[in-house]
Amino acid sequence: MKFFVTLLLTIFVLMTNAQQKDNLKISRIPNLQQLLKAETINNSIIEIDNFIGAVCDYGDHMEKLSESQKLFYINQNLEREVNNGGFNQYFINSSGDYAHETVRSLKAIGAIKTAIILQEAIDKFPNSKVPKDRESRSVLVGKIDPETSIWDDIEKRFMDYEEDLNSLNLKFVEKHASDF
């Protein structure tokens, strides 16, 4: 009986180790070097973003990402949401969970002007604190901006793209390639 329990435990440990190795393989972008050398930066960014999104189940399991992958992903979420529906949409959706972290991630890639713009949007919240809880955040957004106009000037400056976010994100990925 002892032998059988030991055997089962050994098999379990081996399977767990194999699964962990598989997870590491899955979380690495297989053609990263090709993407970094591609002529179309936008397509590279989209492919990297799609891959990372799949790894973390599109934000449901951010713990599966390396710190560098997380920074890249939340930067992309900001850009996607603001381009699609402005800061109102960004804060109402789950991307807003990471508003404060996104300010830091923008600075990490060198997008200082964009970080300042996001901080100005965050400053519309009481005490410049964006709640992590989506429901609480949505209620606040409704109170702050019932007509979706308070962020118009900030959104316009964001859309002017004084910084090339795609190039900055790609340089960040290249610098931290081992994390991707």
Digit-coded pLDDT (tens) for 74-132: 999 999 999 999 999 999 999 999 999 999 999 999 999 999 999 999 999 999 999 99
Residues 41 and 105 in one domain: yes
Residues 14 and 50 in one domain: no
Q: Residue 36 is part of which domain span?
A: 31-179
Residues 97 and 151 in one domain: yes
Residues 48 and 15 in one domain: no
pLDDT of amino acid 120: 97
Residues 97 and 65 in one domain: yes
Residues 22 and 38 in one domain: no
Look up residue 99 and give its two tokens.
């508003």
Residues 11 and 88 in one domain: no
Residues 4 and 70 in one domain: no
Long-range contacts of 152-159 (CB under 8 A, 24+ apart): 154/87, 154/117, 154/120, 154/121, 155/82, 155/86, 155/87, 157/117, 158/82, 158/87, 158/114, 158/117, 158/118, 159/82, 159/83
Amino acid identity of residue 132, one-letter, is K
Digit-coded pLDDT (tens) for 16-63: 444 444 444 345 777 888 888 877 899 899 999 999 999 999 999 999
Residues 17 and 46 in one domain: no
What phi and psi values does residue 59 have, to the nearest 5 degrees?
95, -10
Residues 20 and 35 in one domain: no
Strongest mean pLDDT among 39-48, 143-152, 169-178: 169-178
Give me the number of domains the chain comprises: 2
